[in-house]
Amino acid sequence: MDLFMKCAIEEAECGRNEGGVPIGSVLVREGRIIGKGRNRRVQQNDPVLHAEIDCIRNAGRIRSYRGTALYSTLMPCYLCAGAAVQFGIGKVVAGESENFGGARAFLEQHGVEVIDLDLAVCKEMMRTFITEHPEIWYEDIGEE
């Protein structure tokens, strides 16, 4: 596992420790993290503050997102995939997609390279959270 996914996992663990959904994300350009974030929907009472959105927001106005890669512990949903496409992020690296398939096809249809690392640590973190907090999880993905 590379440093960038380790940092995304650290963000996910921070979110979990805050009582939120354990999903973390980092934005990378030229081998350097320029933004990081975690799902803060619960903590901030904000329905759209997914990890990838938090990460992009924390990167700030960087003029162009071309040449960046977005790392996330879970395959991005349509909201976050839409942000990646909108800003021209060329690569998404997901820790896993077993617990949530996300919007991989959408990303690929829009020219984004998608890599699924299928990491046990990411799968277990989400599996545990979903088992312990199904009501928060299903709210997060827009299901009842």
**Is 77:49 a contact under the CB 8 Å cutoff?**
no
Separation CA 108–CA 81 (nearest Å): 10
Q: Which residue is it, tokens 């995304």? A: 8
* CA angle, 96 then 135 then 79, to 5°: 50
Catalytic residue among 11, 30, 52, 135: 52
Q: How far apart are CA 74 and CA 100, in angstroms?
A: 7
**What tokens appear for 20 in the block?**
């939120």
List all residues 6 or more positions away from 66 whose beta carbon is below 8 Å from its beta carbon: 88, 90
124 is annotated as an active-site residue:
no
Residues designated as active site: 52
